Structure 1
Amino acid sequence: MSKLPSQQLRIIGGQWRSRRLRFPDIDGLRPTLDRVRETLFNWLQFDVEGARVLDTFAGSGALGIEALSRGAREVVFLEKHPKAALQLRENLQTLQARNAQVWAGDALHWLAQHPQPWDLVFLDPPFNCGLLQPAIDQLTLLPGAVVYMEHETALTLVIPANWYERKNKTTKEFCFRLFEVQETKVPGTDTEK
């Protein structure tokens, strides 16, 4: 199998399977590896179709585009770097993806201004920048929502008590983890919130 040039990614499955898309050569931009995306979307096989998806720190858009290819109802991409946001818009136009929008700006600012629930959230910020915990803290999610995160192995996070970890894998350099938001029990009662 030949290796892709460093500024291309391949869609793994769905309606755009095997399509190749370009992304800019920007320091710190690292699309989720093919093998990791394949594992992730195997984990998500019942969670993507019809989902409202938020791809924070989108970069190349590999995760959100993969979700669109597999039947997501809508994807909002958040990307701060102007070149990456522009290329992402061009790629979505090439694919004729009408159910997607790109917000070119700071993801944390956007999350603070748009406290709305999502079915599926991708959290894959640049490593060693201190962005993941603030993003987790700002999310508004309903029970049943699914959150994927990718982060450096050494990072310690405070995960909300009602997030159940469904799956995870760890390498020397990074972890990738899948959580599902559970009902929250009200302390001292048998009722759920």
Structure 2
Amino acid sequence: MRIIGGRLKGLRLNPPANLPVRPTTDMAKEALFNILQNQIELEGIKVLDLFTGTGNISFEFASRDAASVTSVDRGFKGLKYIDDTARQHGLTQIKAYKADVFKYLEQETEKYDLIFADPPYDLDRIPEIATLVFDRDLLEQDGLLIIEHQSMQNLSNHPNFIEQRRYGHSSFSFFRKD
């Protein structure tokens, strides 16, 4: 795993080997950030990274000068790695929180420019993420929600769905607040 853009481009990330996570591959992450760079200005945005795991996506946004990155996961070791790595590289805009993502979303009141969710692929509640985000009005106007999921899963029945991009067994589904 490495940071592919921004001021920390090329930095290798070495999270603990025993974390129960499936990080977004560098190929998929590079494709995602190429899409995002053509759609929104990443500098200065407010990001919520759900099921953050190793913080791979959080670090990428912070490297590209997001104003704030809120990283949420229930894994203590991953969050400790995120805190330590953010401190080591001066990424003061990253704040990591230990929480169940669904409970967090049910209580959150902040609005974000971009919300990224990378839940475990076998989680049966993946479609609920978009429902919670839009029912709770957690996106700024024109804000984006991106959910990473298995390519065979279809999330297009949500009214805010705009497109799905496939990268092998992984897909990104995009939702926009109009």
Rounded to whole Å, the distance in 2 between the matches of 1:134 and 1:174 is 19
Say if 2:134 is the partner of 1:142: no
C-alpha distance after superposition, 1:53-75 (max 9, x if no partner): 00000001111110111111100
How much does 1:91 deviate? 1.1
Amino acid at match of 1:55: D
Instruction: Using CA pairs under 8 Å that are at least 6 residues apart, name the structure with larger relative contact order, 1 or 2.
Output: 2
Number of aligned residues: 172
The partner residue of 1:58 within 52, 57, 66 is: 52
How much does 1:116 deviate? 2.5
How much does 1:34 deviate? 0.8
Rounded to whole Å, the distance in 1 between the matches of 2:33 and 2:167 is 17
Rounded to whole Å, the distance in 1 between the matches of 2:77 and 2:160 is 37
Partner residue, 2:14: 22
User: Within 5 Å, which residues of 2 pair with 1:36-185?
Assistant: 36-45=28-37, 46-139=40-133, 140=137, 141-157=139-155, 159-165=157-163, 168-171=165-168, 173-182=169-178
Rounded to whole Å, the distance in 1 between the matches of 2:20 and 2:44 is 31
C-alpha distance after superposition, 1:129-154 (max 9, x if no partner): 22422222211223310122210122
Report if the CA contact (8 A) 2:160-2:175 is conserved: no
Q: 5+ residue gaps in structure 1?
A: 1-8, 183-193
Amino acid at match of 1:178: F
Q: Secondary structure at the match of 1:48?
A: coil
Pair 95,85 (structure 1): closer, same or farther in 2 beyond 3 Å: same
The two structures have a TM-score, normalised by structure 1, of 0.81
Rounded to whole Å, the distance in 2 between the matches of 1:155 and 1:48 is 28
RMSD: 1.8
The two structures have a TM-score, normalised by structure 2, of 0.88
Amino acid at match of 2:86: L
Q: 5+ residue gaps in structure 2?
A: none
Rounded to whole Å, the distance in 1 between the matches of 2:115 and 2:95 is 15
Rounded to whole Å, the distance in 1 between the matches of 2:177 and 2:154 is 19
Report if the CA contact (8 A) 1:48-1:120 is conserved: no
Pair 158,36 (structure 1): closer, same or farther in 2 beyond 3 Å: closer
Report if the CA contact (8 A) 1:22-1:91 is conserved: no
